Amino acid sequence: MYTGDPYGRGEKNIAGAFQKSAVDPIINARSIAVVGASNRPGSVGLAAFKNLLGAAYKGVLYPVHPKDKSIQGVKAYPALEEVPDPVDLAVLIIGAEQVPGVVRTAAARGVTGCLVISAGFKEIGGHGAALENRLKDTVRETGIRIIGPNCLGIINTHPEIRMNASFARIMPKAGNIAFISQSGALCTSVLDYAAGRNVGFSKFISFGNKADINEIDFLRYLKDDPDTHLILMYLEDISDGHAFMEIGKEITYHAGKPILVVKSGRSKEGARAAASHTGSLAGSDATYDAIFYQSGIQRVEGINELFNYAEAFSKQPLPRGNRVAIITNAGGPGIMTTDAAVRHGLTLATLSDQTRAQLKESLPPTASLGNPVDVIGDATHERYEAAIRSVMMDDGVDGAIVILTPQAMTDILETAEIVPRVAADVNKPILASFMGMVDVSEGIEYLQSHGIPNYVFPEAAARSMAAMVRFGERLATRDQRREITRLPCDTARVADLINRKLGGGEKAYMPEAEAYEIFAAYGLPVPRHRMIRSPAEIDGAIAAVGLPAVMKIVSPDIIHKSDAGGVKVNLATADAVKRAYDEILENARRYKADARIEGVFLVEMAGKGIEVILGATRDPAFGPICMFGLGGVFVEVMKDVTFRLAPMWELSAENMIRQIRSYRILEGVRGNPPSDVDALKRCIMKLSQLAADHPEIRELDINPLIVYPEGGGCVVADGRIMLERPKK
């Protein structure tokens, strides 16, 4: 079993002192009063108190019950204020109506924190929500800290604490994984599932409605917890997107601890009607994806995948790269694993001539000496050991997946025994897939008890290895500059333009002509342009803009101009411009007879290039979010877009560009030159700054932005802005 630290933090502790937090005296409580402890069979009060006793809690317990003299043989007290000694933590398992008063009592007698297991608060709405507000008021007024309400509880497996302050059925074994969950009901299933997979925990936390202490507080605590090397989370929402990102970055990039998250649920705000491409594409789920990515956090699809990854991260060292070797005794599973590995971003390692020579000596003539290495169905454990050892010693191999299919001649346990033996001699990850459940059960049990994760099917092993590679790649970039650089702009001018446009109203639409003024103030490359409000202004506009040109309708009632016949392109003569002016106005009136028409916009004709879209929208919970993707009229169809919260690092802007599926188009394909990605990155940075500086910008589209070949820059070809005064 691998017993070192796979994340380069050293054997004993994380660099820097272990910092205490608001969570520390609660999760490491040396004395606990259980208010609502009970002898009644089937009660939560009995289950929670028995759990504390059964876990061999190292501190002092004080059961509190108004009538019973003792709970499970431990002297009880009729009220919290009658407990004679100091109390670190009060666990509340009482009626919801009583909770605010007992919390106030706890604060008055110097209790550091309360764990409110009681339900009946905002989760039931109405009166419950009002009770929770009273509870929050009590916390603000007294300064006491609380976890919950409506939670399963917390578990600390540290041998000097051994606290199971929950009503779960299982006390998990100690391990290096912390689990944080917003759902208490899910926690009980997770504990059972983890026990079945031989997974242990350092801390196990259910925080419920988070009336006070939330997921960000727990992350701050776990960042410096020497017992925690990996953090798993189940979230339904995030309290503060930017604070979550900051602590996420500290944990992943600086402390080097992976965070894996299952996020469920979609906010109603994400489904609201939108007047821009960006607004329609930026649902709450896209926001969470952006938050997780910018935090260095990996999002997973469900609990099974969460623990598939967790076993690999918690038991094996990180791979140095993405070159994986596959050792198998059956060709079909080897091919399936190869497909899964490549699909998830891994590369099949090229074995050295020396490795192939060693394999040739150890394996029969019918064996495959390439990668996957097929040791053939009649392979003994000696043959497996020779193959795994030769492959893992190859400098061109970063990790391996060992596959075994149970065949009549296969010595399953003996083969399992050699895998950790080889792993002990190398600092590279080995994941196993002893395929099946019954025949291979003895081998699987040995692997798992000796630090080798096993997966029923090898595709899951390939996905888990790929997740480790992704985290390793992020750690490799931790020294890159992650600063938000301000670019030159005229913030005051934009603020004035926005205030004048909004006037006394709450909302306003800025068509292209007005949006260009804002873009230009932030250094975004706008073409020459001029507004035409009457035929008499056409000649002057042509002189200012030049030809060829484009003409577009300007109307707050016509958002999608092409649909209304409100766009004419490639106008090369003055006569063509004049005809287009008349046709555009006629088309607009036919499209919407009562449309308010402010004029026609004459814009310099942009040269051909790659069309992309830049956008920004404002999430009600997390603030400004920027979008980048394939542009033009296909954006809603292709939906090949990425999102980031603003303001962002330069590296975030670069990653936004590289992560769209169509990035190869920007690199240059079929003889086309590579695009000016540096100029595009600067445009994203300027847009991010614009969206962050001005909270009145509710939605913004630049669609398309034309990107020219390297050195040619970019130009805005269309854009619009929706304004809305922020709600106080």
Looking at residue 183, its pLDDT comes to 87
- Can you say how many angstroms the Cα of residue 246 is from the centroid of all Cα atoms in its chain? 13
The size of the chain, in residues, is 728
What band does 6 get if pLDDT is binned at 50, 70 and 90?
very low
328 touches 319 (CB < 8 A): no
207 touches 91 (CB < 8 A): no
CA 533 – CA 480 distance, rounded (Å): 51
Write the DSSP assignment of 481-537 as a string of letters: ----PPPP--HHHHHHHHHHHHTTSSEEEE-HHHHHHHHHHTT--PPPEEEE-SGGG
Is the pLDDT at 87 greater than 90? The verdict is: yes
Six token digits for residue 510? 């800025």
Looking at residue 19, its pLDDT comes to 40
Q: What number of CA atoms fall less than 13 Å from residue 392's CA on the CB side?
A: 25
Whole-number mean pLDDT of the chain? Answer: 90
Is the pLDDT at 637 greater than 80? The verdict is: no
Beta 641-645 vs 347-348: how paired, if at all? unpaired
The DSSP secondary-structure symbol of 369 reads -
Same fold, 24-307 and 316-476: yes
683 touches 642 (CB < 8 A): no
Look at the alpha carbons of 227, 231, 237, 239 in this order and tell me if their dihedral is positive or negative: positive
Looking at residue 444, its pLDDT comes to 94
Is the pLDDT at 308 greater than 50? The verdict is: yes
What band does 347 get if pLDDT is binned at 50, 70 and 90?
very high
Is the pLDDT at 640 greater than 90? The verdict is: no
Is the pLDDT at 504 greater than 80? The verdict is: yes
Looking at residue 672, its pLDDT comes to 87
Six token digits for residue 548? 């060829």
Q: Domain 24-307 adopts which CATH fold?
A: Rossmann fold (3.40.50)
Beta 113-116 vs 89-92: how paired, if at all? parallel
Q: Domain 491-518+526-604 adopts which CATH fold?
A: Dna Ligase; domain 1 (3.30.1490)
Write the DSSP assignment of 439-469 as a string of letters: TTHHHHHHHHHTT--B-SSHHHHHHHHHHHH
Alpha helices in 344-457 (DSSP H): 353-362, 381-392, 412-423, 441-449
Place of tokens 């149970």: 406
All structural domains of the chain with their residue ranges: 24-307, 316-476, 491-518+526-604, 610-724
The DSSP secondary-structure symbol of 719 reads E
Burial tier of 670 (Cβ tally within 10 Å: 0-12, 13-18, 19+): exposed
Does domain 610-724 correspond to CATH entry 3.30.470.20?
yes
Burial tier of 350 (Cβ tally within 10 Å: 0-12, 13-18, 19+): middle
What band does 2 get if pLDDT is binned at 50, 70 and 90?
very low
Q: Which residues in 207-287 belong to E strands, given as ranges?
A: 230-235, 259-263
Q: What is the SS3 assignment for 680?
A: helix
Looking at residue 240, its pLDDT comes to 87
- pLDDT tens column, 688-715: 999 999 999 999 999 999 999 999 999 9
CA 608 – CA 117 distance, rounded (Å): 63
- pLDDT tens column, 40-66: 999 999 999 999 999 999 999 999 999
Place of tokens 């409580």: 29
417 touches 442 (CB < 8 A): no
Question: Percent of the chain having pLDDT more than 90?
Answer: 77
Looking at residue 92, its pLDDT comes to 98
Place of tokens 């790659």: 610
Is the pLDDT at 4 greater than 70? The verdict is: no
Q: Which amino acid belongs to residue 601? A: F
Is the pLDDT at 636 greater than 70? The verdict is: no
Q: How is the beta sheet containing 529-532 ordered, strand by strand?
A: 529-532, 599-604, 549-554, 567-571
Q: What is the mean pLDDT of residues 420-434?
A: 95
CA 627 – CA 700 distance, rounded (Å): 10
pTM of the model: 0.85
Residues 481/485/487/490 CA torsion (nearest 10 deg): 170
Q: What is the mean pLDDT of residues 492-520?
A: 94
CA-based nearest residue to 429, from 306, 351, 319:
319
- pLDDT tens column, 708-727: 999 999 999 989 899 999 98
Q: How far apart are the first and last CA of the chain?
A: 56
Is the pLDDT at 7 greater than 70? The verdict is: no
The CATH architecture to which 316-476 belongs is: 3-Layer(aba) Sandwich (3.40)
Q: What number of CA atoms fall less than 13 Å from residue 325's CA on the CB side?
A: 28
What band does 481 get if pLDDT is binned at 50, 70 and 90?
low
- Can you say how many angstroms the Cα of residue 131 is from the centroid of all Cα atoms in its chain? 32
Is the pLDDT at 728 greater than 50? The verdict is: yes
Across the chain, how many H-helices and E-strands are there?
24, 30
Looking at residue 18, its pLDDT comes to 37
Beta pairing partners, 549: 571, 604
Residues in CB range of 432: below 8 A, 6 or more apart: 401, 402, 403, 404, 416, 419, 447, 452, 453, 454, 455, 461
Beta pairing partners, 554: 599
Helix %, strand %, coil % of the chain (to 5)? 40, 20, 40
- pLDDT tens column, 335-346: 999 999 999 999
Is the pLDDT at 179 greater than 60? The verdict is: yes
Six token digits for residue 40? 């009644």
Is the pLDDT at 169 greater than 80? The verdict is: yes
Beta pairing partners, 154: 165, 205
89 touches 57 (CB < 8 A): no
Q: What is the mean pLDDT of residues 154-169?
A: 95
CA 404 – CA 398 distance, rounded (Å): 20
Is the pLDDT at 674 greater than 70? The verdict is: yes
Is the pLDDT at 15 greater than 80? The verdict is: no
CA-based nearest residue to 688, from 676, 702, 674:
702
CA 406 – CA 384 distance, rounded (Å): 14
- pLDDT tens column, 99-109: 999 999 999 99
Residues in CB range of 269: below 8 A, 6 or more apart: 284, 619, 620, 621
Beta pairing partners, 551: 568, 602
Is the pLDDT at 114 greater than 90? The verdict is: yes
Q: Which residues in 182-218 belong to E strands, given as ranges?
A: 201-206
Return the axis-axis angle of helices 126-142 and 99-108, rounded to nearest 10°: 10
